[in-house]
Amino acid sequence: MTAQEHDKIIDLIKREVILSIGCTEPMAVSLCVAKACETLGEKPEKIEVALSANIFKNAMGVGIPNSGMTGLPIAIALGVVAGKSEYGLEVLREVKAEDVEEAKNLLERTAPAISIADESHGILYINTLVSCGNESAEVVISGSHTNFSSVKKNGVEVASSKAIGSTSTEEEEIALSLRKVYDFAEEVELEKIEFIGETAQRNVAAAELSFTGNYGHGLGAMLHSGVAKSIFGDTLFTSILAHTSGACDARMSGAMVPVMSNSGSGNQGISATVPVAIFALANDVPREKMLRALVLSHLTVIYIKQSLGRLSALCGCVVAATGSACGITRLMGGGYEEVSGAVKNMVANLTGMICDGAKPSCSLKVTSGVATAVLSATLAMNSRVTTSLEGIIEDNVDNCIRNLTSIGRNGMSETDKLILQIMTSKE
């Protein structure tokens, strides 16, 4: 692999692994609303937001940072009152108590109109239209959570709108394979991947925070406690589960703590990072080896998401846990063959886990994925790998990944519609 290829992959990782506060879907909505209000230049009298079904599904049940509230209305109102689009997915990082009160008052005066957009717009689509008197502004985010594909003032496109945002759907697509991902992680110059160490620092810090308070369902704190350890044991395995689920508990309940996301998802970033970091720290792994394992994990997630898509009916925690299975296998001393085996074991086990929206109980799915990641890595290191005679597994590991993503992207599309129907018609 050439130095130029290395640089392209590093750029790809830096685009996909970014800081986020709160769940990325409602934060993307806040971001779109904030940009629309900035474009309007004054507080709106009317707010209309149209969302793709997957954005809507993932924004319904999660806590919004610093608000003590849940869901889309408060995310939209805070985007109006205190959002700053320059911060990307940290759009609400400067929210104060008085901003929350102002947002609540705004909702009482001007309830935003929220609708589900036509599916022809794609699975990641946010359209915000705000107006005051005769003035209006319309902003569209599509393709990725921070890509402003259109910014209009009074119906006229703002000339610079295509360049706004942290990512662009027009970025060059890099053809990856698991072999290329593995080779990159092994070969790249260490100084070029030092930045990936921040993922461990940030995401483990979120886990540690969760142990100090009452966040979500408290799964991480429970697993970290003496009572749970008397059942599960005071082991590295328990520590991995506790820290990973704890970080998820914190962000899903709206803790004001930044995490490094992967491919538009904080939970994916947590699942790709925390298990690898905790394993490395517990075993006094040299920093270089930890950084390379983290890169292997994150880039594996990016690779799989390239064909799965940013949002789907397949739980993203499965994908991210597959990355951590690779990273842990490498930390155990495995090479490419063992890493491939870990991927096959993951695909054989967790394919089909549904995504029924972002919510506090995501910590349960994160924990299931990470537990399977450790199991898959351990099996692979002992030459126990699912074979092509079993289910959707093929000898070629990249074909296994394509089978996984084809099921998630195509086979589960009707499942996605049914999930949303159930979620929106509860009695």
CA 417 to chain centre: 21
Bridge-based pairing of strands 19-21 and 46-51 is unpaired
How much is the average pLDDT of 76-90?
Answer: 94
Q: Which letter does DSSP use for residue 411 in this model? A: I
Q: Does residue 331 have a pLDDT over 80?
A: yes
What b/e string do you get for 99-128 counting C-beta neighbours within 10 Å, with b at 16 or more?
A: bbebbbebbeeeebebebbeeeebbbbbbb
Flag whether pLDDT at 287 surpasses 90.
yes
- Asked if 360 and 318 touch (Cβ cutoff 8 Å), the reply is no
What band does 241 get if pLDDT is binned at 50, 70 and 90?
very high
Task: Compute CA 199 distance to the chain's CA centroid, rounded to the nearest angstrom.
Answer: 13
Q: Which residue shows structure tokens 């149209």?
A: 50
For the residues of 124-157, what is the DSSP string, one character each?
SEEEEEEEETTEEEEEEEESSTT-EEEEEETTEE
Residue 318 has a pLDDT of 83
DSSP state string for 161-207 = GGG-SS--TTSPP----HHHHHHHHHHS-GGGGGGGHHHHHHHHHHH
Residues, the chain: 427
- Between the alpha carbon of residue 14 and those of residues 177, 198, 202, 297, 303, the distances in Å are 18, 12, 15, 14, 14
pLDDT of residue 198 exceeding 90, the answer is yes
What is the pLDDT, as a whole number, of residue 166?
43
Q: What is the pTM of this model?
A: 0.91
Residue 165 has pLDDT above 50, yes or no: no
Average pLDDT over every residue of 385-411:
95
Residues near 245 by Cβ (< 8 Å), separated by ≥ 6? 219, 220, 223, 363, 364, 366, 367, 370
Highest mean pLDDT among 56-65, 93-102, 307-316, 374-383: 374-383
- Answer whether residue 170 shows pLDDT above 50: no
Token code pair at residue 271:
């699942």
Residue 172 reports pLDDT greater than 80? no
C-alpha separations of 362 from 357, 369, 393 in Å: 8, 11, 27
In angstroms, the Cα distances linking 88 to 19, 31, 228, 357 are: 9, 7, 38, 22
Q: What is the mean pLDDT of residues 284-294?
A: 97
Greatest alpha-carbon span in the chain: 69
Classify strands 156-157 and 63-64 as parallel, antiparallel or unpaired.
Answer: unpaired
What is the rounded CA–CA span in Å between residue 297 and residue 301?
A: 6
- pLDDT, tens digit, for every residue of 337-384? 999 999 999 999 999 999 998 899 999 999 999 999 999 999 999 999
Q: What SS3 state is found at 280? A: helix
pLDDT of 226:
79
Cβ atoms of residues 70 and 62 within 8 Å = yes
Identify the structural domains of the chain with CATH numbers, from first to last: 21-163 (3.30.1330), 178-424 (1.10.4100)
pLDDT in tens, 199-238: 999 999 999 999 999 999 999 999 998 788 888 899 999 9
So what's the pLDDT on residue 171?
52
On the question of pLDDT at 325 being above 60, the answer is: yes
Cβ atoms 363, 245 nearer than 8 A: yes
Work out the mean pLDDT of the chain and round it to a whole number.
92
The pLDDT confidence band at residue 38, using thresholds 50, 70 and 90, is: very high
**pLDDT digits 0-9 by tens, 125-144:** 999 999 999 999 999 999 99
Q: What is the pLDDT of residue 380?
A: 97
- Report the pLDDT value the prediction gives residue 60, as an integer from 0 to 100: 86
Residue 324 has pLDDT above 50, yes or no: yes
pLDDT band at 326 (very low <50, low <70, confident <90, very high): very high
Average pLDDT score over residue span 60-73: 88
First CA to last CA across the chain, in angstroms?
56
> Using 50, 70 and 90 to split pLDDT, how confident is the model at 167?
very low
Give the pLDDT of residue 229: 83
